[in-house]
Amino acid sequence: APRYPRYTREEVGRHRLPQDRVWVTHGTEVFDVTDFVELHPGGADKILLAAGGALEPFWALYAVHSQPHVLELLREYKVGELSPEEAPPAAAAAGDPFAGDPPRHPGLRVNSQKPFNAEPPAELLAERFLTPNELFFTRNHLPVPAVDPGSYRLRVEGPGGRALSLSLPELRSRFPKHEVTATLQCAGNRRAEMSQVRPVKGLPWDIGAISTARWGGARLRDVLLHAGFEEEREGEWHVCFEGLDADAGGAPYGASIPYGRAVSPAADVLLAYEMNGEELPRDHGFPVRVVVPGVVGARSVKWLRRVAVSPAESPSHWQQNDYKGFSPCVDWDTVDYKTAPAIQELPVQSAITHPRPGAAVPAGELTVKGYAWSGGGRPVVRVDVSLDGGRTWRVARLSGERPPPGRAWAWVLWELQAPVAAGAELE
């Protein structure tokens, strides 16, 4: 058998661009696939997502690769082996509060490592109506708590009901499982584009702080009614959520929604324990999270430990002093948080996932793709696309689910084919 040179993962990692040669690993083998990039049936942009690292996490998303002819083809490009001392990524330092965070998919675009905040790359974001769990955007404010499912209890309490302490098996067996397809979007989605207009503080999210899943769990409504809370209540009431993740001072992540939304059968608010048919991944709230469809992601509290009915909104920083909207004339030095309500329903949103800004597109027929979504369960009825800065418009083809009226919780994906003249600049 031929003897191949040995490389470390770091050396492989220096080969991410065609000008540096494109290397990937599979098992312990190293391949130079530069000459295959343009021949890849799935497109050059996709194969480049794996450049400099392991193929397996990407091939796990696309089963077409689990055929013998794909490995045979790959073998032609073998240039080396990984060094035998190449251990799995080093264990995190003791004393690091993030040392217990779970492993993540290498395709995610990371905006912050600790706490972990990451989005699927635009090339993969709208490839599928349901976002694969390992690519679903992650927005963590704190380290991911380690939860023992056996001793986990969810507390439910507040005036007007009896206190409950529910184990995971109780939550699963006492209440019917309800399933909802819902898109979650962070309020910061597309902040990088906002910063091009005027620099704003916060994580520089591109267009991927949004993802869609089929969530399964108990209806919050069923749990509240089981605890004896009335469907109709006089006066102002809120349902507050607390997570098991807490800051250095011991304050948990928290948020609240109005009582009426929590008990409304049409609002579909879930205490979810399943995501796309699997148990919730740790990054997305294992073992139980709230899913509030149509509402800013911040209210869908992960690692849920407590549900409290209260006459006041959640006292949490993230309900009181963050996730609020202000005039452009207000900045961080002059803001008075009490003057604005906490964001609940989000407005309409639409973004182009392909082509990317600045991309060169060949003359001929261009495919433009993207997603569109609205908060509040309002359906997207049409997506119009302009290639000439808004002078003329074409209507895109939509694909998605057909939800009941007022319950359009999921995005639609859209696509348009349009002719492009040579040398044209498209806006």
Give the interface with ligand HEM as residue ranges (CB under 6 A).
Answer: 24, 33, 36, 40-42, 46-47, 49-50, 55, 58, 62, 64-65, 67, 70, 73-74
Q: How far apart are CA 290 and CA 211, in angstroms?
A: 16
User: Closest separation between CB of residue 256 and ligand HEM, Å?
Assistant: 39
Half-sphere exposure of 362 (CA within 13 A, CB side): 2
User: Closest separation between CB of residue 358 and ligand HEM, Å?
Assistant: 21
* Residue 49 interacts with, from ligand HEM, ligand MTE, Mo ion, none (CB under 5-8 Å by kind): ligand HEM
Instruction: Please tell me which residue in 15, 26, 65, 178 is annotated as part of the active site.
Output: 65
User: Closest separation between CB of residue 299 and ligand MTE, Å?
Assistant: 7
Q: Token digits for 90?
A: 């080093």
Contact in structure between 360 and 399 (CB atoms under 8 Å): no
Chain residues 183-222 in contact with Mo ion, contact rule CB under 5 A: 186
Note if 240 is an active site residue. Answer: no
User: Closest separation between CB of residue 302 and Mo ion, Å?
Assistant: 11
- Which of 297, 375, 377, 400 binds Mo ion (CB under 5 A)? It is 297
Chain residues 104-143 in contact with Mo ion, contact rule CB under 5 A: 139
* Residue 24 interacts with, from Mo ion, ligand HEM, ligand MTE, none (CB under 5-8 Å by kind): ligand HEM
* Residue 208 interacts with, from Mo ion, ligand MTE, ligand HEM, none (CB under 5-8 Å by kind): none
Does residue 298 touch Mo ion according to CB under 5 A? yes
Hey, which bits of 251-363 come out as E strands?
Answer: 252-258, 270-275, 278-279, 289-291, 304-310, 348-354
* Residue 67 interacts with, from ligand HEM, Mo ion, ligand MTE, none (CB under 5-8 Å by kind): ligand HEM
Contact in structure between 255 and 321 (CB atoms under 8 Å): no
Cβ atoms < 10 Å from Cβ of 98: 15
- Closer by beta carbon to ligand MTE, 140 or else 181: 140
Nearest to 409 by CA among 242, 190, 179, 188: 179
Nearest to 210 by CA among 352, 323, 357, 373: 373
* Integer angstrom CA distances of residue 6 from 21, 54, 325: 17, 16, 54
Note if 214 is an active site residue. Answer: no
- Closer by beta carbon to Mo ion, 140 or else 181: 140
Contact in structure between 290 and 173 (CB atoms under 8 Å): no
* Residue 138 interacts with, from ligand HEM, ligand MTE, Mo ion, none (CB under 5-8 Å by kind): ligand MTE
Q: How far apart are CA 360 and CA 353, in angstroms?
A: 14
Instruction: Please tell me which residue in 238, 323, 354, 407 is annotated as part of the active site.
Output: 323
* Residue 245 interacts with, from Mo ion, ligand MTE, ligand HEM, none (CB under 5-8 Å by kind): ligand MTE
Residues that bind ligand MTE (CB under 6 A): 136-142, 184, 186, 243, 245, 253, 284, 297-298, 300-303
- Closer by beta carbon to Mo ion, 342 or else 416: 342
Q: Token digits for 349?
A: 């949103």
Got the DSSP string for 237-254?
-EEEEEEEEE-TTSPEEE
Q: How far apart are CA 71 and CA 147, in angstroms?
A: 39
DSSP category for residue 338:
G
Note if 323 is an active site residue. Answer: yes
The full length of the chain comes to 427
Nearest to 287 by CA among 415, 412, 169, 206: 169
Residue tagged 């031929």 (tokens) = 2
Instruction: Please tell me which residue in 139, 261, 305, 407 is annotated as part of the active site.
Output: 139
User: Closest separation between CB of residue 344 and ligand HEM, Å?
Assistant: 36
Q: Token digits for 294?
A: 């149509």
Instruction: Please tell me which residue in 14, 40, 75, 356 is annotated as part of the active site.
Output: 40
* Residue 30 interacts with, from ligand MTE, Mo ion, ligand HEM, none (CB under 5-8 Å by kind): none
Note if 186 is an active site residue. Answer: yes
User: Closest separation between CB of residue 422 and ligand MTE, Å?
Assistant: 42
User: Closest separation between CB of residue 372 and Mo ion, Å?
Assistant: 19
Give the 3-state DSSP-derived string for 105-139, with helices as H, strands as E and coil as C: CCCCEEEECCCCEEECCHHHHCCCCCCCHHHCCEE
For Mo ion, the binding residues (CB under 5 A) are 139, 186, 297-298
Catalytically annotated residues:
40, 65, 139, 186, 323
